[in-house]
Each structure stands twice: as structure tokens, then as C-alpha cells.
Structure 1
């Protein structure tokens, strides 16, 4: 069994399929560890989850957008008006349209999000988490908000990287995170970013980047086409479509 990791496809089913195809992923035999945020952004959240549910050995982690979508479809977001509006602006509208306005999320899709792991540790001491974790305590004691939202972990080690300080977390052989697009840190960083034994897997698929998938054991990476070119009329989370890109790209905010 080969082991692969990907993250933050944000409704880009075409990109996810391209990555699986290009990596030669075996839906019956191989394992995919998805670091979260399959929802919100491009038009195919429903199709994306349909695809993930076909993978026999899927390990799905909860992302912050997954939590938003889960709260919406279980009715918990409806009373938090300001947060609901923010979610809709940050890609949630596309998720709602994907399932149909006024319609519910299918039971199997809801279960995927409800049963998503907060983090995942392998037998060979690799850690997978959406946003990061508090290194001053065991990951099991890190609160859920930190695991799916907080960027302190990333900020600390990216700053060390920029200052050319050695980055290595002794507790794990390798750590894989998503959540923060590499292109938000460096516009030229279109591939997964290595910070010592930390790998950033979100390569900006929700915005102007590609979706990336990595063979965990070999480190080989495959990528989709630039995702916005696969949905040229859709605005994604950029707020502007690929067709209108030549007229100027709106600045996006990370959430």
C-alpha cells in the first residue's frame, strides 16, 4: 500500500481527480490522508466528497472550513449571523450551491465531516494536522480550535526558516500541515514547502495555485493544473474568475 497526502482542495473536484490520476493512485489499495477543507471555494464540493468516499483507505482530517460547513448543515451556524456571513463570503456560498440552495447535505457526506479526525499519527511517527499544534504539550491535549484554525505554529517555524535557523521538531519524524497556502507566504512557492521536518501541503488551490499530492514515503509530488483554469467562469475564493484575471486579481484574505 502506498501512502499519499493532500490538502485544501476547496471544492476543486477536477483538480483532486487530476492529482489522483497523475500519482497513479489505486482507489482500492492505496491510502490517502486528506488534511481537511474539501469544501468551500470552487463549484464541486459535492462531487469532491463523492470522490473521496470511493477511496477505501481514506483518512480524513477536519479543517476549519469543514467545521463551518458541518455547523451550517447541522443548523448550528444559523444563529451565529456574523460568522455565517463570513463563511458564505469565504467560499460557503459555493458549497451551498453545490448541494442546492435549501437542500440538505447527504447523510454520507455529513458523516465524513462528523467523523473527521482532529489529527492523525502513523505507526512510523508521522503527524498530520490541518493547521498546527501546541508544541508545549502533547498533540492530544491541543484544543480543537488550535488544530484547525491557529497559525502560531506555522508563523513560528516559518520565521525560523526565513532567518535560516534550523527547524526540527524532535517529537516526530515528519509533520504535514495544510491551512496556510504556500503562495500566501511567497508568491513563487507553488509546490509544497519544506521547513525542516515540517511540510506545508496547501499550495493555494482555493486561489490561484494548484492542488498538490505527495507520496509520503518517497516525497514525490504531483500537481493539478492551476485550479482556476479548470473552472474558468467560477470565482472560487479569489472573488474573480480566471476569465477576468487579466483585468486584475482581487486581494484575498486568509480564513
Structure 2
């Protein structure tokens, strides 16, 4: 049996994902769960998606949808985009894709369309890019965009009194549905960390690769993790999403 490995937000850092899987000594027996946001930030988003498509042919991979992945897919399919996306990593991604042939763009659209909103394992562990809002859990979520846009799950975890027991009526009901929840989306560098952070039963594996942090892969069972060099050191000529 291989490991269950969770990979944080890549954000166009092809050099980092290659370095990361080498450092973690990933094998085809491992189950790789990618938490989304494969694109935007660093200048190799197409290379990242090519790499993931090829990886899926040889490894056991599950790819979740991030908000940046959804924004890219919308632009590729409709030509429409928001200024917010353009100014938060989308510009360099757009420039890269405008240089690609149409058949490659279509292949990447198919990949982006295939992304999952969340993954619930047999041992009741939830994996999602961002979170969810429905108090009764992901299967009851009315607004599916929350799986890759929500920040309230993590904000609630950060604000939670660590002394509060799960049986307390004040304990967030959302937390009690799953044994563990693994997310990305909101980099832990915002709270001064560059390693995965646990709050209650929630693990945040976005260690700021889009900015000045490393990219991280974590064993969901043992919580051992491996990291790249700070990603901005791999792209000294770029600014990422800074």
C-alpha cells in the first residue's frame, strides 16, 4: 500500500512541483491528492498542467478544482475575465496561453473541466480546495462554488477557542462531520507560517508557494511533509503574485 499524499497550491510553479515529487520520493503506489490552484502566479502554468496530465497516466492522482483553475477555464472557454483575476496572477497565465496552439488549449480545457469539487475518502476525511458553508456538510452544499472560494471554514478554525470541546453546542457544526479536513486556498504565510497548520481537525497545506513560501506535500496519515525551496528563489526573474 502506498501513501496518501496531499499537495498544496502550485500556482504555475512547474519547477517546484518537479522538485517536490522528487524530494518526497513519490511512486506510482502513492495516492496523490492535489488541492487545486495549479495556475496563476508563476510563469509556467501550461507546463504545470502538461506535467499533471502526464502524471495521471502513470500515477494514482486526484485533482481538485481551485478558484484560479476555474477562472482560467472560464477565460479559455469564453474570452471573458475579471480585472481582479488579471491582477492576481491571471495576466502572466493569459500571456502564456495566448502563445499556445489551439489543440493544446483545448486539451487543457478538458483537464480543467475534469477537476473535482471535493473528495471524501472511505475513512471520512474531506479534501477540498477552500471549504464549504452548509452546516450539514458537503453533500448538502447549495453553492458549489464555495468548495473553491470559501474562506469562512479556515477563518472559523483560526478563531476557535482550542479549549472548546467538539461536544460543546458552541463548537462549529461543520467541523464535526469529518474526521479530518484538508484544504489550501488561504496561505498560512498570512499567519506567519511556512509549514502546514492544523486548527481543530482542519489541516491547511497552502504554504504560500504563490508568494515567498515553499510548495508542500504532506502524508495525510503520518503528517510527515516535504517542501521545495522557497518558490520565488526558483523564479528570481519573476514576482509571482507578490
Q: What is the TM-score of this pair, normalised by structure 2?
A: 0.88
Q: What RMSD over aligned residues (CA atoms) do the two structures have, in Å?
A: 1.7
Residue 192 of structure 1 is matched in structure 2 by 196
Displacement of 1:111 after TM fit? 1.4
Q: Map of 1:139-154 to 2, 5 A cutoff?
A: 139-142=138-141, 143-154=143-154
Displacement of 1:64 after TM fit? 0.5
Residue 184 of structure 2 is matched in structure 1 by 178
1-structure distance, mates of 2:165, 2:148 = 22
Residue 117 of structure 1 is matched in structure 2 by 116
Q: Secondary structure of the residue that 1:54 maps to in structure 2? A: helix
Unmatched 5+ stretches in structure 1: 239-255
Tell me whether 1:214 sits opposite 2:224 in the alignment.
no
Unmatched 5+ stretches in structure 2: 167-174
Count of matched residue positions in the alignment of Structure 1 and Structure 2: 228
Displacement of 1:29 after TM fit? 2.5
Tell me whether 1:62 sits opposite 2:62 in the alignment.
no
Q: Post-superposition, which runs of at least 4 consecutive aligned residues in structure 1 deviate over 6 A?
A: none
Query: Contact 2:64–2:118 at 8 Å: present in 1 too?
Result: yes
2-structure distance, mates of 1:138, 1:170 = 9
Tell me whether 1:17 sits opposite 2:22 in the alignment.
no
Query: Contact 2:136–2:177 at 8 Å: present in 1 too?
Result: no
Residue 107 of structure 1 is matched in structure 2 by 106
1-structure distance, mates of 2:216, 2:165 = 23
Q: Secondary structure of the residue that 1:170 maps to in structure 2? A: helix
CA shift in 2, pair 1:39/1:234, >3 Å: same
Displacement of 1:103 after TM fit? 5.2
2-structure distance, mates of 1:131, 1:181 = 11
Residue 5 of structure 1 is matched in structure 2 by 6
